[in-house]
Chain A
Amino acid sequence: MAVSDVVVSFALLVAIYGVLSLGLNVKFGHTGLLDFGHVGFFLVGAYTSALFVLPPDDPADFTNYVIGFGEIPLVGTWAFGIIVATILTGVIGGLVALPTIRLREDYLAITLLGISVIFQRVVQSESWLANGPDALRGYSPPFQGLFPIEPGTLVGAVAFSVVVFVVWAVATAALSLQRENDSRLPLDRIYAVTTFGLGTRAAGVLGSRFAVAGVAGLIAAVISAALLLAASLVLLVGALVSVYGWLVVLVAIGQHYADLDRRELALGVGFGTGLLVALLPLPIADRISVSIVGTLALLGALVYAYYHAITSYEWVADVKLTVVGLGAVWFVGIWYVLLPILGPLGSGSLSGVLGTLFRNVVWFLQFGSSAGIGYSIAVIGDVTVQLDYSRFQLALFLLSLGALYTVLEAAVQSPFGRVLRAIRNDEAVVKSLGKDPFVYKVQSMVIGSALGGFAGAMWAMYSQGLTFRTGAPETTFIALLIVFVGGVGNNKGVLLGAVLYWGFQQATTQLAGFFPPALRVNVLAFRLVVVGVLFLIVLYYMPDGLLGREEYSSGVGDS
């Protein structure tokens, strides 16, 4: 599996947990309702949406479920299923809230945890409902039938251009933000090109930069669809989009760390390199005990050195988080670019090195599958490329996440959002102003639970198989962690938290691959111990998270 595929599956999980944690953030971050049973809505949403796309139950086979709407036109689609799942979980969230929301904070947490356990037990023990303790399978995610794509057909071209649209729009929006900072690069000119001239000329007509980005994405999508239909130029379009993505990412990293001076940069790079060195015993050492002890000792030394540095030197303490961030970026960069080519480099094959680099640079496409289109490139040799389903799914997920995020941000900044925050801060004040906190709390539960249900439906699409473990209480804990890492009550922080959590998960999953299979359960458990410890550290030292509480305008003039 190419590195870019790992990144795609990582981003899928980020999108799912992003939506899930946004839901928890509405409840806890904005309103102060501590819902330890958030996963219950995730579970209900996942199973509900799956039952809408499953065909009616065949009594002869081994699976049993109560109902399957899959063969009814319109009803038996993912779109319908996800809407019903969202509404249903919202309604359940409201019904749960009606009696319980008046309870004390700790009682509320216990009660909601209990309700989620009940949901889980029902799914587990009622075998007629959704295949009981066994997995519910037998459905496929939306539009999977279109893949592998036939580039010459209209359907294939449309599916392809949907992904192009999302990537182009996101990249353009990001670029328009970067354009505001000073840069040595001709960002204005690049922006003018990638928005097809709209960014500089039609900005006034279209309004916000996001509208410009959307239209630019649409144009890019239409152009790429035309290219595909006319000449099957899959690789060309893929390479163009990939390069544009890289440009935006690299400019973003450059601008984010532009303020650092040389020694701070060196420290960050040193930290990332140190992390890499600390992990070296895992692939190198022959004996498992040596590699475990060596890695733990080196990691301990790294953490101690970092701790020593931030407590002894003031200039390090000022940039303590930036350094870690830069180190992580450096680490990821080496992992993405350098590590995959070590193998071919060792065997001295230039075409192997270039081929691997090329594959990783053109992240937009999947290489090496049997169903793709073949190309022959100088030096590199023959490659087959295609747009695989998981990239398409990612585009759908990112669209959903972006839409939900936008709506939520609007809601949070509306008078409604202000009342929620006021309830979190002091309920008595809200009451004295004539608003009933009860009504708002129930509404907050409805919205948060509905988002949980939506995330559950996304999970059903992603995992293609559901068990009652989908509703394990650990998931709530992870969502809570994500909310806290980024910043309680800060939607942008929630997304950052999801990225960080799953980045850690992916990295440790890769590391677990170095252990013998018998030990993998232990290693995966150990990383959850680390997650728990990190969570405590975040709670204690940064209770407001990395980004802090978002300061929203009060809606009153600043006079």
Chain B
Amino acid sequence: MAYMAVETGLLNAISNGIVTGSIVALGAIGLALVYDIGDVPNFAHGDLLTLGAYTALLVNKPGTVPGFGALATDTRGIGIGGMAFLFAVSFVGVLGIVYHLGGRRALKGGWWGIDAPPSVAVAVHVLAAAVVGVLVVTGTPSFLAALLFAVVVVGALVPLMESLVFRKFRAKDASVAMLLIASLAVAFIVRFGVQTIFGGEIRSYQVDTTIPFAGGQLDITFAKFFDFFVAGNGFSLAIRETRGGNEIPLATFSYSWIEVVAVVAIAAILGVAAYRWRTDTAGVIGGRLAAALAVVATVVVGGTALAPGAVPETAWYATRVRASPLRIGIILTALVMMGLLHYLLRATTLGKAMRATSDNRDLAMVRGINTRRVMMTVWIIAGLFGALAGVLLGFLFSNLSINLGFNLLLPMFAGVILGGINVYGAILGSYAVGLAMEVGIFAIPGLSATYRIPVAFVVLLVVLLVKPEGIVGGN
């Protein structure tokens, strides 16, 4: 039986768009929080991504970092001095993040939202810092350790922007234009600060991309083909990869139309039910999220249970999606991080304070909410998420340049403004922008990949001109 040739198409562009959207969203979350609660349209946000991406090099390739190379044994190995340095920086980084939340009182548990003895709080913080330090040092030079290190360091550095720069300007009643220009100056400092240390050459991470998986080896950057077939008797999906010049099948899923209709119907019913059950509750899982989870769960369970079947020889429509485990991992990472953020915003005292401050800062202040702590939280989150996005971007592109983050600034702003300058809107907006970028490049003939960012921008321009308050609404 011959396997019919399948070309990539719109679906592939959409899947690329979701990957791009995930990275844009990770960056845009911080940008939106700072824009919304901190009132700073932060032009330095793109360069935070750059900062994160380059910070990871200290762990991933310590020998190539100028100055730090003296503590390294070779390109990737570090001596005892280097280990001590990495441990100290991670340790101080974690405690620094806590310190930003309210100085010494925060270290004694002031931000916990529950009453705990100060000694316990201090012990917990120190222990957490030590654990992070040990994880970084023992994990060196792995990619995950580098990621952790970058996230912690940038998370501790970024709030300094608020406390050293923007708070002072705000105290002088600076106009939005002033804050904008100040953020541009900060961007300059961050970007060329990175270049001062790392020089002009293009760098890359060294990552062991093969991981043990299901008894075999899996190269996570190696593309897998997901071929979708729509035929008279049903719908099929074949997962394949190229090995030694030949395409070999990995797995096949096939469904008759009755099965498809049944799964869709059950998913719809469960979704509506879940929505009714959870809507109008203030919990972590609201109506829309519950419905989405129910639909996803039904499709996954039904899809695996009804899988057996073969690929049809002819199909009305067949399309191929190229995706590597890395790309899927980026999507999943973004989803997990968004879940954590959602939990923080919905279920913790800090999150509630953030939402209250976002709605009305003066009212929140009157009600006794520590708006300064909220502000610092916002910047910490911006740093954490920004560094994560930067490192993932550097890994995905397999090279780091000084303009890495700045190039993503416009798509991030597009996503944020599209979403009406709030976190949830920004996530939605970022995916819209990511999809527009990839589908636009695919759909418009003669448009080279250099035009990704202009496409994102055109989307933003159209939205601004037609509906300046963003697609989600609000103010």
Contact = CB atoms under 8 A, between A and B. Distances in A.
Are A and B part of the same complex? yes
Interface of A: 32, 34, 36, 99-100, 103-107, 109-111, 113-115, 117-118, 121-122, 124-125, 473-474, 477, 480, 484, 518, 521-523, 525-526, 528-529, 531-533, 535-536, 539-540, 543
A529 B185 contact: no
Contact of B184 (A99, A121, A480, A528): A480
Nearest to A521: B200
B168 A540 contact: yes
Interface in B51-76: 66
A-B interface, 4 closest residue pairs, ranked by CB to CB distance from nearest: A525-B195, A532-B188, A532-B189, A114-B457
B88 to A, nearest CB: 22
Contacts of B406: 473
B282 interface: no
B196 A536 contact: no
A73 to B, nearest CB: 36
The majority secondary structure among interface residues of chain A is: helix
Given A106-B176, A111-B461, A121-B450, A529 B186 contact: no
* Listed residue (A104, A125, A484, A539) with the most chain B CB atoms within 10 angstroms of its CB: A539
Contact of A125 (B169, B174, B192, B448): B448
Interface in B184-238: 184-186, 188-189, 192-193, 195-197, 199-200
Given A532-B188, A539-B181, A114 B461 contact: yes
A539 B188 CA distance: 14
Contacts of B189: 529, 532-533, 536
A117 B192 contact: no
Nearest to B165: A536
A427 B149 CA distance: 49
Contact of A34 (B168, B177, B197, B410): B177
A477 B41 contact: no
A107 B457 CA distance: 12
Interface residues of B, number: 42
B460 interface: yes
B185 A536 contact: yes
A539 B464 contact: no
B193 A529 contact: yes
A36 B172 CA distance: 23
Contacts of B43: 36
A110 B192 contact: no
A100 B177 CA distance: 17
B192 A539 contact: no
A535 B413 contact: no
B41 A110 contact: yes
A125 B406 CA distance: 18
A536 B182 contact: yes
A234 to B, nearest CB: 44
A125 B417 contact: no
B397 interface: no
B451 A121 contact: yes
Contacts, number: 118
Given A32-B177, A121-B454, 4 more contacts: A99-B461, A107-B464, A114-B410, A484-B181
Nearest to B197: A522
A521 B43 CA distance: 24
Contacts of A122: 454
Contacts of B417: 107, 110
Contact of B410 (A99, A113, A125, A529): A113
Contacts of A125: 448, 450-451
B78 to A, nearest CB: 21
A532 B192 contact: yes
Nearest to A133: B450
Interface of B: 41, 43, 66, 165, 168-169, 172, 174-178, 180-182, 184-186, 188-189, 192-193, 195-197, 199-200, 406, 410, 413, 417, 448, 450-451, 453-454, 457, 460-461, 464-465, 468
A118 B454 contact: yes
Contact of B178 (A117, A473, A539): A539
Given A526-B192, A529-B192, A480 B453 contact: no
Nearest to B410: A114
B41 A106 contact: yes
Contacts of A107: 417, 464, 468
Given A121-B451, A121-B454, A103 B464 contact: yes
B453 A121 contact: yes
A310 B448 CA distance: 57
Contacts of B448: 125
A531 B186 CA distance: 11
A412 B153 CA distance: 49
21 contacts: A99-B465, A103-B464, A107-B417, A109-B180, A111-B461, A114-B410, A115-B457, A117-B457, A121-B450, A121-B454, A124-B450, A521-B199, A521-B200, A522-B66, A525-B193, A529-B188, A529-B196, A531-B188, A533-B185, A535-B188, A543-B174
A532 B185 contact: yes
A369 B186 CA distance: 45
B195 A105 contact: no
Contacts of A526: 192, 196
Given A106-B180, A526-B196, A540-B168, A535 B185 contact: yes
A292 to B, nearest CB: 11
Contact of A525 (B196, B410, B413, B461): B196
Contacts of B180: 34, 36, 105-106, 109
A103 B468 contact: yes
A104 B448 CA distance: 32
A525 B197 CA distance: 9
Contacts of A521: 195, 199-200
A523 B192 CA distance: 10
A117 B451 CA distance: 10
A67 to B, nearest CB: 20
Contacts of B188: 474, 477, 528-529, 531-532, 535
Nearest to A518: B199
Nearest to A125: B450
B176 A105 contact: yes
Nearest to A476: B184
A518 B201 CA distance: 11
A117 B465 contact: no
Given A106-B176, A529-B196, A536 B186 contact: yes
* Listed residue (B172, B186, B406, B464) with the most chain A CB atoms within 10 angstroms of its CB: B464
A532 B186 contact: yes
B177 A522 contact: no
Given A107-B417, A121-B454, A528-B192, A540 B169 contact: yes
A484 to B, nearest CB: 7
A99 to B, nearest CB: 5
A558 B186 CA distance: 44
A219 to B, nearest CB: 47
* Listed residue (A99, A117, A532, A533) with the most chain B CB atoms within 10 angstroms of its CB: A532
Nearest to B189: A532
Contacts of B468: 103-104, 107
A128 B410 CA distance: 26
A539 B182 contact: yes
B185 A539 contact: yes
A110 B413 contact: yes
A105 B177 contact: yes
B194 to A, nearest CB: 8
Contacts of A106: 41, 176, 180
